[in-house]
Amino acid sequence: MSAHILRRLPRSQIRVPTRVPRRWSGSISQRPGSDSVRFPGAVNSKFTTNMTFINPTEGPNIPTYRVMDSDGVLVDKNRRPLDMSNDEILTWYKNMLTVSVMDVIMFEAQRQGRLSFYMVSAGEEGISIGSAAALTPDDVVFAQYREAGVFQQRGFTLKDFMSQLFANCNDNGRGRNMPVHYGSNYPRMHTISSPLATQIPQASGAAYALKLEALQNPNTPKRIVACYFGEGAASEGDFHAGLNIAATRSCPVVFICRNNGYAISTPTLEQYRGDGIASRGVGYGIDTIRVDGNDIFAVYEAMREARRIALSDGGKPVLIEAMSYRVSHHSTSDDSFAYRARVEVEDWKRRDNPIIRLRKWLENEGLWNEDLERDTRDKLRKEVLKEFGDAEREKRPPLREAFEGVYEELTEEAQEQMKELKRILETYPEEYDLRQFKDGINGL
């Protein structure tokens, strides 16, 4: 222990505390003739005289869990029946349609310049809605930005979406964040921030807080944290930090990686060389599964089981890698045909898609048909357009929101700067248009 400190400290700073025992009670020493390693860093390893480097390409890749095939037919005829009601499944389907309809309209609205920015989640609706369906309202979510379905499934309304996208005076974010950076207090979905992967160690800390709260107050319901990110974000240092710390502190958190094949223009071949993201979970000592992200049943079942595992043994992290394909552009600022073939995208759209797959299952069960599909899409389109119009007409938040919320209370410096801004606005009224802002100059 003392040697470890010395590595960090100039010698004169150190006085080794006398109360530290020379050897911890759990420490183990090498027995003579032992056939296995007793180094503290790896206590269950056998010795070998066969010098073999582990080659990651030789072993079998981690399989992908699926429940239904691309025709919407349950693959394993012997499996137990799905244990969710048809009503529930219809709700999932409508939620996927809602996100999909909203995506098309908002993408177009951005193209017309009525919105500054947008990101669709086409092709990934099954991951977000299927996983969110396995959460309780008390669970906490940290998302990246392509998880509109999580918000939809957990009760975010079209008005909530539109208020945020137009950053108007009803926006939870008070007009401060770029579009698609949604947030909600309850069910708690932390407001999305643009820096990638920063939410991963935060999710571990949040999960630890929930665990501690449950320990201190056994009457509180057991809760987990669900943390979403893409396969590109998993290259950030915060991914490493977050998973490692979650494992060592036994945090009840489920990490859901949306592996959609691209990080903007970068294909996964330039993102990593291992067996995707799932293979790394094993390295951190985390229970891990890879699922077919286009199969909402597989995602739901994996997430429900992950939630159970996360709450077992006093808490532990789980990693789910959900495979999909980003059929859309990365964002409205991106033209993805600059780096991938249009035919590849069209192929994915046609061949496999979480919405079409569930629709086929519903039709096979006699729960859905062409008329219902058309009527539902028309109805959703009208609802989205209505909320769109209402949100667009709303005023922006009052100008004081630019300064408030930096600290719990306005600092004396901020008050002075607000006064100075007001003086400028009053002196040069022709230079600024305040009509769009609630209460105009008095909003400051």
Partner 1 sequence: MSSLRLPRLIRPARRFYSGAATPSSRLNIPIDYKTTPLLHHTSSSLSESLDLPGSTTSKPLNLYQAINSALRTALAKSDKVMLFGEDVAFGGVFRCSMDLQTEFGSERVFNTPLTEQGIVGFAIGAAAEGMKPVAEIQFADYVFPAFDQIVNEAAKFRYREGATGVHAGGMVVRMPCGAVGHGALYHSQSPEALFAHVPGVQVVVPRSPSQAKGLLLASIFEHNNPVIFMEPKVLYRAAVEHVPNEYYTIPLSKAEVLKPGSDVTLVSYGQPLYLCSAAIAAAEKALGVSVELIDLRTIYPWDRQTVLDSVKKTGRAIVVHESMINYGVGAEVAATIQDQAFLRLEAPVKRVAGWSTHTGLQYEKFILPDVARIYDAIKQSIEY
Quickly count helices (H) and strands (E) in the chain: 13, 8
Can you tell me the distance from the alpha carbon of 176 to that of 190, in angstroms, rounded to the nearest whole number?
15
The answer to whether residue 183 forms part of the interface with partner 1 (CB under 8 A) is yes
User: Is 27 assigned a catalytic role?
Assistant: no
User: Is 2 assigned a catalytic role?
Assistant: no
Residue closest to 190 by CA, chosen among 203, 205, 179: 203
Within 13 Å and on the Cβ side, how many CA atoms surround 167?
Answer: 18
String of DSSP letters for 268-329: GGGT-SSSTTHHHHHHTT-EEEEEETT-HHHHHHHHHHHHHHHTGGG---EEEEEE----S-
The answer to whether residue 421 forms part of the interface with partner 1 (CB under 8 A) is no
The residue with tokens 């699922």 is 291
Sites for partner 1 among residues 245-274 (CB under 8 A): 245, 248-249
The answer to whether residue 142 forms part of the interface with partner 1 (CB under 8 A) is yes
Sites for partner 1 among residues 45-74 (CB under 8 A): none
Specify whether the CB–CB gap between 138 and 221 falls below 8 A.
yes
What letter does residue 396 receive in the DSSP assignment?
A: B
User: Is 29 assigned a catalytic role?
Assistant: no
Where does this chain touch partner 1 (CB under 8 A) — which range of 113-121, 173-181, 324-332, 354-362?
173-181
* Catalytic residue from among 88, 108, 270, 346: 108
Where does this chain touch partner 1 (CB under 8 A) — which range of 189-197, 258-266, 268-276, 361-369?
189-197
The answer to whether residue 417 forms part of the interface with partner 1 (CB under 8 A) is no
Q: How far is the CB of 195 from partner 1 (least distance, A)?
A: 5
The answer to whether residue 424 forms part of the interface with partner 1 (CB under 8 A) is no
Q: How far is the CB of 389 from partner 1 (least distance, A)?
A: 22
Give the interface size with partner 1 as a residue count (CB under 8 A): 65
User: Is 331 assigned a catalytic role?
Assistant: yes
Can you tell me the distance from the alpha carbon of 114 to that of 394, in angstroms, rounded to the nearest whole number?
13
Q: How far apart are the first and last CA of the chain?
A: 57
Can you tell me the distance from the alpha carbon of 137 to that of 139, in angstroms, rounded to the nearest whole number?
6
* Catalytic residue from among 324, 330, 336, 401: 330
Where does this chain touch partner 1 (CB under 8 A) — which range of 11-19, 48-56, 61-69, 383-391?
11-19
3-state secondary structure of 96: helix
Q: How far is the CB of 240 from partner 1 (least distance, A)?
A: 7
The answer to whether residue 39 forms part of the interface with partner 1 (CB under 8 A) is no
Pick one of 38, 159, 222, 240: the residue that binds partner 1 (CB under 8 A).
Answer: 240
Where does this chain touch partner 1 (CB under 8 A) — which range of 12-20, 80-88, 383-391, 428-436?
12-20
The residue with tokens 């494992």 is 247
- List for the chain the helix, strand, coil content (%; round to 5): 45, 10, 50
Hey, which residues are catalytic here?
108, 194, 330-331
Q: By the criterion CB under 8 A, which residues form the site for partner 1?
A: 1, 4-14, 17, 20, 140, 142, 171-174, 176-177, 181, 183-185, 188, 190-191, 193, 195, 198, 200-210, 212-213, 215-216, 225, 237-238, 240-242, 244-245, 248-249, 401, 405-408, 411-413
